[in-house]
Amino acid sequence: MISAAEALRLASAQLTDEEKQAADGLEILIEEYVRKGMKRNGVDLETKMTNRSVIAEVNHRLRAAGWSTQWEPIVERHKLNAAVQSVTGWRLSLFPTDAAYDDAARSILS
């Protein structure tokens, strides 16, 4: 079986320049939202971003920064055919990992 690291090196797994810019922009929006609305349990927010590669990239960045993430698609049903659905965005629940809580407590005591 191909390893995940090897699969990520495939040409088809590379982000386009537009996707990189979209990921950077979404990351900035999330950071601004966290700075304004952070509570002890984290934050919940919604994005209109529908590109799954961008969501995967931002998810990786968030986890690397000490966040736990939970993404839920925002689904809209077609007006004439309820069986047809499309993803119109994502809801993100973002909360600190246990290690982040520990790091924050140590820095407060210092």
Residue pLDDT, tens place only, 4-44:
999 999 999 999 999 999 999 999 999 999 999 999 999 99
Q: How high does pLDDT run on average in the chain? A: 94
Q: Where does the pLDDT of residue 110 fall: very low under 50, low under 70, confident under 90, or very high at 90 and above?
A: low
Q: Name the residue range of residue 68's domain.
A: 17-109
Q: Which band of pLDDT confidence, cut at 50, 70 and 90, is reported for residue 80?
A: confident
Q: What is the pLDDT of residue 29?
A: 97
Read off the pLDDT band of 107 (50, 70, 90). Answer: confident
Whether 1 maps to a domain, the answer reads no
Whether residue 69 lies inside any domain: the answer is: yes
Nearest CA among 53, 84, 86, 56 for reference residue 71: 56
What angle do the packed helices 52-64 and 17-37 form, to 10 degrees?
50
Say what the pTM is.
0.88
Domain count, the chain: 1
54 within domain boundaries = yes
